């Protein structure tokens, strides 16, 4: 029997960027290419410090000439505030958008259920909002930005109401970060968190805020850690719990759902684990790391 679910992501919210200069304004600030965004195409990207450290991540799509950015609800005001000083004389307006809610739609052939190709970023209008295949990885399903009550459009397509832990478990098993739950603001590096393989960085676009460190990290091979899914055997460690290999620090725990979680792990510790054996431990739990199929290292 086909299993498909839609899940309200109450911790996510939207920002509207409008005005004639909306695309050129954002192009110089974010890690991906705004020119890729159109009526049928969405992107994933990040806004960085000038030093190249993570501040905010987002999904971006366009509706009726307005760029919509999905980001973290509790940090949305900070994102808007940080964008403000770069407006200068640009013809652009930045404001929270609350008439669309954020949902995930996951399960068997989720894109096909809404007549979308299984292509990351594929986008179409739906019930006064938008639905898009996750721009990072089609296996993560869909994001839907819909007016309140428009869930009926998903139910008509065969989706049933689900709960947030089901979404967390899926994206964690796939190795996908969820904002500051998994990436420490002003500390995390994009390439440690899969942004290269997950379509979050465009290497051919012009300069953007934080580009120098991001490019240097890639081309000089300076990636020392990676965010990876881990199987948790024992009580789930709280985020921030140190991960140890023997007596040596091997990383740090991030978010979890049931017996799966994400951990930022040192690559040299993973090499030692593969070569000499041993156990990764966080608190009272053993962690078994798994490399996602999409990851390259």
What pLDDT is stored for residue 222 in this prediction?
A: 85
Instruction: Please tell me the pTM assigned to this model.
Output: 0.95
What pLDDT is stored for residue 221 in this prediction?
A: 86
* Average pLDDT of the chain, as a whole number: 96
CB 150 within 8 A of CB 129: yes
CATH class of 4-162: alpha beta
Average pLDDT of the residues in 37-63: 97
CB 259 within 8 A of CB 218: no
pLDDT tens for each residue of 227-259: 999 999 999 999 999 999 999 999 999 999 999
| Domain limits, CATH 3.30.1360.120, in the chain | 4-162
| Domain limits, CATH 2.40.30.160, in the chain | 179-289
Token digits of residue 68: 């919509």
What percent of the chain stands above pLDDT 70? 99
Average pLDDT of the residues in 148-176: 97
Does pLDDT of 1 surpass 60? no
CB 140 within 8 A of CB 171: yes
pLDDT tens for each residue of 180-211: 999 999 999 999 999 999 999 999 998 999 99
Alpha-carbon distance of 258 to 146, in angstroms, equals 29
Put residue 127 in one of left, alpha, beta given phi > 0 → left and psi -120 to 50 → alpha: left
CATH assignment of 179-289? 2.40.30.160
Residue 51: C-alpha distances to residues 187, 197, 200 (Å): 10, 22, 18
CB 133 within 8 A of CB 124: no
pLDDT tens for each residue of 256-272: 999 999 999 999 999 99
């Amino acid at each position: 029997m086909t299993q498909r679910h839609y899940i309200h992501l109450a911790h996510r919210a939207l920002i509207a960027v409008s005005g004639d200069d909306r695309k050129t304004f954002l192009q110089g600030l974010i890690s991906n290419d705004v020119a890729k965004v159109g009526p049928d195409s969405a992107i994933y990207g990040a806004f960085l410090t000038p030093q190249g450290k993570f501040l905010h991540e987002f999904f971006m799509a366009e509706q009726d000439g307005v760029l919509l950015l999905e980001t973290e609800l509790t940090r949305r005001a900070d994102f808007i505030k940080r964008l403000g000083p770069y407006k200068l004389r640009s013809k652009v307006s930045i404001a929270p958008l609350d008439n669309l809610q954020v949902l995930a739609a996951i399960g068997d052939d989720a894109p096909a259920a809404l007549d979308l190709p299984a292509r990351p970023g594929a986008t179409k209008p739906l019930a006064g909002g938008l639905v898009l295949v996750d721009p990072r990885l089609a296996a993560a399903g869909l994001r839907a930005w819909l007016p309140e009550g428009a869930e009926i459009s998903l139910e008509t397509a065969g989706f049933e109401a689900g709960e947030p832990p089901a979404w967390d478990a899926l994206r964690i098993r796939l190795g996908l970060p969820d904002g500051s739950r998994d990436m420490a603001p002003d500390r995390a590096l994009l390439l440690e968190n899969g942004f290269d393989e997950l379509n979050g960085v465009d290497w051919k676009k012009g300069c953007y805020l934080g580009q120098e460190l991001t490019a240097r990290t890639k081309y000089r091979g300076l990636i020392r850690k990676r965010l990876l899914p881990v199987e948790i055997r024992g009580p789930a460690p709280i985020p921030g719990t140190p991960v140890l290999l023997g007596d040596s620090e091997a990383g740090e725990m991030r978010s979890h759902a049931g017996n799966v979680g994400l951990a930022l792990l040192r690559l040299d510790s993973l090499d030692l684990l593969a070569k000499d054996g041993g156990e990764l431990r966080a608190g009272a739990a053993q962690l078994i790391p798994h490399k996602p199929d999409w990851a390259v290292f």
